[in-house]
Amino acid sequence: YYFPCQRWLAVEEDDGQIARELVPVDEAFVKKDSENDGQSPATLGLEQKAKSTTYTVKVKTGDKKNAGTDANVFIILYGSKDDTGIVSLKASKINKNKFERGKVDEFTVESVDIGDLKKIKIGHDNKGNSTGWFLEWVEIDAPSVGQCLKFPCGRWLDKSEDDGAVERIIFPAELQTIEYIPFVPYEITVYTSDIFGAGTDADVFIVLYGSDGICTQQKSLCLNKREQRMYFERNSVNQFIVELEDVGDIIEKIRIGHNGGGLNSGWHLDRVTIRRLLPNGK
């Protein structure tokens, strides 16, 4: 079995996760890799990512005295097919100091397809100075199935409060579920030109347009400033797997640009190729 990864397991890198689920790739990919037939390890890592589903997890800490926690918080997502296993919520995209009173924190959780989300378990390890935590709610957005689910809690996870439990199983509130058209993964390859000053450190974004006026949201290709500095260098090829709204079989045009930020924002773009990935990874 061959399990490529080619990704960070680090709080301050990529999506902030320090554990990843990996699935084996086809033997053909491994042979290609060993023969150097155009299948680099980085590409295998992208094949891996294309088989994964990304969830956006928002967590609201209650607005009560001592509601915040310094303990290590974890979550498990249970679906109709599988569960994610324990995922540490380490890197909040919104707040440096996470799980503070009255605040909402946002995390990225990546997993193989677990099917329709049925319930979650959330808790902490009770370590640190102030460990007790009042959890208001958890919201999970699952673009691949087109659902945003709300998991209301409104209870303490505290050894000395409520029933003394520091982890809880929570079910979604059906009336608060938002349904939308599922997203699909696109493989986006960006070629920066080979001329002086061609590279950029700016935040590069893309929008895809299908027929009948359908278009995706504007999506940044880099997850953080470090990636912005790494990618889009002169004469480079950068590949991304991005989950976006399904614009159909025909992409009529794209809009690509940047925010003008960074030290060297000017960018000479050679070309972009896009492949819509179907559920079987084709």
CA-nearest of 184, 181, 180, 202 to 242 is 184
User: What whole-number distance in Å separates Cα of residue 232 and Cα of residue 187?
Assistant: 16
Cβ-in-10-Å burial (0-12, 13-18, 19+) of 251 comes to middle
Task: Tell me the one-letter amino acid at 16.
Answer: G
Of all helices (H) and strands (E), which one includes residue 38? none
User: What whole-number distance in Å separates Cα of residue 269 and Cα of residue 199?
Assistant: 8
Tokens representing residue 188 in the block: 């986006």
- The pLDDT of residue 281: 45
How confident is the model over 190-198, as a mean pLDDT? 93
- The pLDDT of residue 29: 57
Q: Can you say how many angstroms the Cα of residue 258 is from the centroid of all Cα atoms in its chain?
A: 21
How confident is the model over 33-61, as a mean pLDDT? 71
Q: What mean pLDDT is reported for the chain?
A: 87
Task: Tell me the one-letter amino acid at 86.
Answer: I
Widest Cα–Cα separation across the chain: 65
How confident is the model over 9-33, as a mean pLDDT? 72
pLDDT digits (tens, 9 = 90+) for 128-178: 888 999 999 999 999 888 899 999 999 999 998 889 899 999 999 989 999
Comparing 14 with 200, which gets the higher pLDDT? 200
What is the pTM for the complete model shown? Answer: 0.78
pLDDT digits (tens, 9 = 90+) for 210-269: 988 889 999 999 988 888 889 999 999 999 989 999 998 889 999 999 998 877 889 999
SS3 per-residue string spanning 34-101: HCCCCCCHHHHHHHHHHCEEEEEEEEEECCCCCCCCCCCEEEEEEECCCECCCEECCCCCCCCCCCCC
Comparing 49 with 11, which gets the higher pLDDT? 11
Tokens representing residue 74 in the block: 């974890």
- The pLDDT of residue 282: 43
Beta-strand pair 73-79/117-124:
antiparallel
Bridge partner residues of 188 (DSSP): 240, 274
Residue 186: pLDDT over 50: yes
Residue ranges of domains in the chain, CATH in brackets:
2-36+182-276 (2.60.60.20), 53-179 (2.60.60.20)
How confident is the model over 270-277, as a mean pLDDT? 90
